[in-house]
Structure 1
Amino acid sequence: MSSIKPPFTDLDIKKADKGFYDGYSLPIALISKISMAALVIWALVWPANANSVLGSFNWALLEGFNSFYVVIVGFFAFFLLVIALLPKTGSRIMGTPGEKPEFSNFSWFSMMFGAGLGVGLMVFSTAEPLGLWGSNPVIVAGEVAPNTVESLESGYRYTFLHYGFHAWAIYVVTGLSLAYYAYTRDMPLTIRSALTPLLGKHVNGVIGHIIDVLGVVATILGVSVTIGFGINQFVEGVYAITGMGWLMDVTGDAPSPTKVGLMAALIMIMGMSIVSAVSGVGRGVKYLSNLNLVLSLVLVAIFIIFGSFAFSMTTYGSAMLDYILNFISLSFVAHGPLSADTFATMLPEAVKALPAEDVASLYSGATNAWGSLDGFKSGLPASFAALENADALAATVYEAGTEGRLFGWQSGWTSFYWAWWIAFSPFVGLFLARISKGRSVREFILGCVIAPALVCFAWMTILGGTAIDLELAGIAEGSIIGASNGAKLFVTLGHMIDGGFLQLITVMCVVLIMTFLVTSADSGILVMNTIMSGGDQLAGNKHRIVWGVILTTVIGALLLAGGGGLDALKNAMIIGALPFTMVMGLMCISLAKALYRDGLREKAGEVSEVAAD
C-alpha cells in the first residue's frame, strides 16, 4: 500500500510575464481568438457559403455520431449515480476537511439555476412541451396522433428527457471533474486539470493547450446559441410591449425579429453582460442570479393562480412515473440513418418496379421526420397513385421508412440538445465548480442534477401544461401552437390574463429574459477568461471586455449568416461540441481513476498511522 505514488499535480501552464497578455497563456488565447475571428470573417464575408457548409457538415457529422451522442450522455447519468451512491466517493469533501461552502444554499442554487438553464427555460417553457406534444418518437412511429390527449404522455417523456437528469448530468461531469482536482489537489480551475490522472505531465504541453482551446471554443458556441435563442424572445417581448414595427417582420407566416432588432438587442444585452462580468462573481453574477430566481418564482406563481394548475400537477405526476419507467431506454436506445438501398429492399414488389426517381421520392417522404402519413399520401408520385390498392401500399411504404424518421427526429432534436448542453458544459461546469468549494461529492451531484431537474420538470408542466390545456380546451384555437417559439409564452399569457396586469407581467418577463441573458453571458465571459489565464479566477478586467466583444461578434455574424435565423449558430455549435464530448468521456475515466487511487492512498495512510502507533 505504501508504494502508491502521489497524484500528479505539477501543472505548469506557461504564461506571458509582460505586455497585454501578462498572466495569460498565449497559445490558448491566440488559438481561440484566431479560430473565432476566422469564423466571424467567414460568416460576414460569405454568409450563404458559411450557412450551407455548416449545415452540410453538421448533417454528415450527425449521420456518423448520433448514436455516440445518445449513448455517452446515458453513460454520464449512470456514472454520476454510481459515484454518488458509493459511500467512499460520495462523502469526499471538495476542499480541506471541515471547510464550509462559500455561498449559502439559496445563492448557490440561484447561480446554478440562472447560469445553467435560465434562458432555455424562458424560451422553451411552453415551446418544448407543445412541440413534443405534436412530434416525438411515439408519434413519428405512428403509435399515437399528434396534439391529442393520447400524445401528452410521450410528449412529456421527451420533455423530461431533454431537461432532466441526463441534461444536468452533462454539466456535472465537467463541473465535478474540475472541482475535485481544484479543491482536493489544489490545481488550477481549468479544463486540462481534469485529465491529469490519465495524461500526467503531457497536459503541460501542446495536448493541454488543445484541451483548453476545445473548452473555450465549445463555450463560445454553446453560449452563442443560448444568447441567440434568448435575443429572439427578448425582441418578441419588447415588441409585445411597445409594438415598435422595426423590431419585427410581420410579412411571413409568423412574425419574426428583424436583423436590426436582433443586432440592437444583442449589443444592449452584451454591453450589460460585460459590465456585470467586470464586477465579478461575488457581486454582479450573484445579485443578478438572486433576482432571476425571485422573478422566476413570481412568474410560476402567476401560472399557478391563473393557469391550469390542477392539469399541470396531474401531468407532473404521471410524466415523472413514465420518465422513470423509460429511463434506461431513453438513455441508450439510439437510431441510425436508413439508407435508400435498405429502404428499397423493404418495399412491396409493385413499388420496387416504379421508376427510380419515384422510388427516391418515396424514400425522401417516408424518412421525413417532420412530415406525417397524410402529408406523405398527398405527395405521392402519379405512378404510385395508379397502382392497385395505392392507399394500403402507401401505409406499408411509410412504415418502411420508420427507422429513418426516428433517426431524423433523434438527430434533429435529442442530439441537438445533447450537443447544446455539452457545448455549454465547460462554461456551466467550470462555473458550478467555482461556486461549490466545500461541498461533498454527493451533495454536488444531488444538488446539481436532481434538484434543478425537478424544478425544470415543474416549470415545464406548470407553464407548458397550461398552454397545452388551453389548446385541448379549444380556448387558444391553435394560436399558441402557431406562434414562434419565442412568442409562445406571451401568447399563452394573453389567454390567461388581460389589461394592465398582462402588460405588467409581460414587462416582468422581458426583464427576466434580459437578466437571464446577462447572467449567462457574463458567466461565460468569466469562464473563458479563467481558462485562458490557466485557472486564475481573478484575472484582469481588460480581457473580460475583449472576450465580451468576441462573443458579441460571433453571435452577430452567425445570426446574419443564418439570415436572422439560428441555423448557422446551431450547426456551428453541434460541430464544435463533438470534440469536447470525447474530452468529457476521458474526464469520466480520469475521475474514476482519481477517486479509486485516492481511496487507496487514504487506506495506505491509515495503515501507516496504525503501524506508527
Structure 2
Amino acid sequence: MKRGKKSYTAYLSSVVICVLFTIWGAIPGSLLGKYSMSRVAETLQNWISKGFGWLYVLLMAAVLIAVIYLLFSKYGNIKLGRQDDKPEFSYFSWVAMLFSAGMGIGLVFWGVAEPVMHLHDPAIPSSDRLANARESMTYTFFHWGLQPWALYALIGLIIAYTTFRKDKPAIISESVTPLFAKRYRGTIGTIVDTIAIIATVFGVATSLGLGAQQIAGGLSFSISWIPNTFAIQLVVIITVTVLYLISATTGLDKGVKILSNLNIVLAVLLMLAVLLIGPTAYLLDLFVQSVGNYFQKLPEMSFRLAAFSSENRQWIDKWTIFYWSWWISWAPYVSSFIARISKGRTIREFVGGVLIVPTVFTFLWFSVFGGTGIWQELFNDNNLIQVITEKGTETGLFAMLESYGSIGKVITGLAILLISTFFITSADSATYVLAMFSTNGNLTPHARVKLLWGIIMSSIAAILLYAGGLESLQAIAVLGSFPFLFVVILMTINFFKWLREEK
C-alpha cells in the first residue's frame, strides 16, 4: 500500500516536531530559564491536571463501562475480519505480545515502589499504618487494573474493526473522519494522525526512560563500581536501541513474537521466585483480599477527584491523573499493535482477552512484589522508602531483593534481563506502529521508517532523562495524552455508530 498524501503530511509534520523537541530539550536549562523544556512541560502538566482532571476521570470510567457492555452485548460475535479468517497467532503468543507491548517496563519499575510509596503517602491519609497498607494495594490495583486495559481494548477494537471489518487503512484517522463532511476529512485526518504519532512517541519515550533508569539502577546495586548516573543511563539507551533496531528488521512473527514469549516466561519465573522465597501465605492472602477491596471500592475510586481537599487533589494529580494520561498516550501505539495481531478474533474474544487476562496477571504481580515490599516495611524493618527517597524510585525492586542475600543477587540479574527484553519488545513494537501510521496503515512498513522512529524515540528518552529524570518523563506523558483524549472520544462515537449499522 503506497503512502497517501495525508499520511505523508502527518509523517513529515511529526518528524519535524519531534526533532525540534529534541533540540529544545538538549539546550541546557540554565540558558533558557523558565522557557526550558522541563520547566514548560511541568507548567503545562499542572495546568492540564488541574483544569481537565475531571475529563480524564470521566473518560476512563466511561471506557470501562463501554467495554463491559461490548463483552456481553449482541455485537460480541462479530468477527474482526471475514467470516473465514483465522487468528494469525496462537492464544499464548497473542496474550504475550499484547502484554509485553502494554505494560512490561512499567510493571517492573513500579512493582515494589508504588505500593511502598502509597504506604507512606496514602491517597486517604490515616494514622493506622495497616489501613494505609490496605489502601496502598487498592489504589495500585486501581491504577494498573481494568481501566487501562479497557482503554487498550476499546481503541484496539475500533482500529481492528476499521482495518479488518471495514477494509480501511490501519491508521487512527480512518475511525474518526467519517464523522465529518468529505471536504474536511483530509485536513482532519492529517491532524488526527499527527496527534496519534506524537502521543505514541512521547508515551513510549517515557517508558524507555523508565527502563533505562531501572537497568542502570540495577547495575549500580549489583556492581558497586558502576554509578547510577545519566552517563550510564545513556549507555544503556544506546545499547538497547541497537538491539531493538536489529529486532525491528526481523518482523512481527520473529523478533517481537519470540521476545514476547520470552518476556512471559521470564516474568513468571521472576514472580514465582519472589513468591516462593518470600512470605508466600501472606502474599496469597494479600492478593485475595486486595482483589476484593479493589472491586468494592472501584466505583468510588473511579470518580474521586477530592474536590473538597486541595491536599488530596495534589495526590490524585500526581498519581491517578498521571496514570490516566500515560495510558492514553500509550493507547494509539498499544491499541494499534494489538489490533494488528488480532485479525480473525471475535469482538467478545478480543475484549475478554485484552481486558481479563492481563488484569489478573497484573494483580498477581503487584501482590507479589508490592506485597513483599509492604511486608518488609511493616514486619521486617527493611526501610525501602528511605532507599527509594535517597537513590530513586527505580531502586525499590533491587533494595527489596537485596534482603534475600545471594539468591537475591541471582533474582536481580533475572530482573535486569527482563527489563531489557521488555525494553526491546516495547520499542520494537512501537517502531512498527509508528512506521505503520507513517505509511498510510501499511501492515508491512519499510525497515528504514522503523529505524528512523526508533532513533527518534531513544533520543527523546535520553533528552528527558537529561532534562529532569522521572519528573520530566511524567510531564511529557501528560502532554502527549491531552490532544489524543479528544480523539478517543470521537473514535468511540463513530464506532458505536458503525455498530448500529451492522446486520
Q: Does 1:172 align with 2:153?
A: yes
* Distance of 1:166 and 1:64 partners within structure 2: 21
Aligned twin of 1:123? 109
Q: Highest CA radius of gyration, 1 or 2? A: 1
* Distance of 1:466 and 1:191 partners within structure 2: 41
Deviation at 1:515, TM superposition (A): 0.3
* Distance of 1:26 and 1:455 partners within structure 2: 39
* Distance of 2:2 and 2:186 partners within structure 1: 9
1:555-575 Cα offsets, whole Å, 9 max, x none, are: 12222122xx12223212211
Q: 2:393 aligns with which of 471, 477, 485?
A: 485
Identical columns (%) = 31
Query: Residues 480 and 302 of structure 1: is their aligned pair in 2 closer, same or farther, counting only changes over 3 Å?
Result: farther
* Matched-pair contact (CA < 8 Å) for 2:115–2:140: yes
Aligned twin of 1:25? 7
Deviation at 1:33, TM superposition (A): 0.7
Alignment of 1:266-277 (within 5 A): 266-277=237-248
Aligned twin of 2:323? 417
Amino acid at match of 1:67: W
Deviation at 1:97, TM superposition (A): 0.7
* Distance of 1:113 and 1:202 partners within structure 2: 39
Aligned twin of 1:378? none
Alignment of 1:364-383 (within 5 A): none
* Matched-pair contact (CA < 8 Å) for 1:471–1:480: no
Deviation at 1:13, TM superposition (A): 6.5
Aligned twin of 1:606? none
Alignment of 1:236-385 (within 5 A): 236-245=217-226, 248=227, 257-336=228-307
Deviation at 1:69, TM superposition (A): 0.9
Aligned twin of 1:253? none
Q: Does 1:498 align with 2:479?
A: no
Give the TM-score, by structure 2 length: 0.95
* Distance of 2:257 and 2:183 partners within structure 1: 36
Alignment of 1:563-602 (within 5 A): 565-598=469-502, 602=503
* Distance of 1:576 and 1:128 partners within structure 2: 23
Count of aligned pairs: 496
* Matched-pair contact (CA < 8 Å) for 1:73–1:418: yes
Amino acid at match of 2:4: K
* Distance of 2:340 and 2:84 partners within structure 1: 18
* Distance of 1:13 and 1:263 partners within structure 2: 34
What SS is found at the alignment partner of 1:137?
Answer: coil
Amino acid at match of 1:130: V
Query: Residues 197 and 145 of structure 1: is their aligned pair in 2 closer, same or farther, counting only changes over 3 Å?
Result: farther
Amino acid at match of 2:333: F
* Matched-pair contact (CA < 8 Å) for 1:12–1:204: no
Give the TM-score, by structure 1 length: 0.78
* Distance of 1:47 and 1:590 partners within structure 2: 43
Query: Residues 477 and 573 of structure 1: is their aligned pair in 2 closer, same or farther, counting only changes over 3 Å?
Result: closer
Deviation at 1:209, TM superposition (A): 0.7
Deviation at 1:484, TM superposition (A): 2.8
Aligned twin of 1:65? 52
Aligned twin of 2:33? none
Alignment of 1:371-520 (within 5 A): 403-478=309-384, 482=389, 484-495=392-403, 497-499=404-406, 501-520=407-426
* Matched-pair contact (CA < 8 Å) for 2:388–2:395: no
Deviation at 1:551, TM superposition (A): 1.1
* Distance of 1:292 and 1:407 partners within structure 2: 36
Which deviates further from its counterpart, 482-491 or 268-277? 482-491
Deviation at 1:475, TM superposition (A): 3.6
Which deviates further from its counterpart, 195-204 or 434-443? 195-204
* Distance of 2:290 and 2:223 partners within structure 1: 38
Deviation at 1:134, TM superposition (A): 2.0
Q: Does 1:98 align with 2:84?
A: yes
1:220-243 Cα offsets, whole Å, 9 max, x none, are: 000011111111000011222332
* Distance of 1:193 and 1:466 partners within structure 2: 46
Amino acid at match of 2:10: I
* Distance of 1:471 and 1:505 partners within structure 2: 20
Deviation at 1:202, TM superposition (A): 5.3
Structure 1 gaps, min length 5: 1-10, 16-23, 249-256, 337-401, 603-613
Aligned twin of 2:118? 132
Q: 1:36 aligns with which of 2, 14, 18?
A: 18
1:543-599 Cα offsets, whole Å, 9 max, x none, are: 11111111121112222122xx1222321221121110110011111111111112x
Deviation at 1:35, TM superposition (A): 0.6
Deviation at 1:502, TM superposition (A): 3.0
What SS is found at the alignment partner of 1:486?
Answer: helix
Q: Does 1:225 align with 2:132?
A: no
* Matched-pair contact (CA < 8 Å) for 2:61–2:302: yes
* Distance of 2:181 and 2:276 partners within structure 1: 57
* Distance of 2:236 and 2:150 partners within structure 1: 32
Amino acid at match of 2:138: R
Q: Which structure is higher in helix share? A: 2
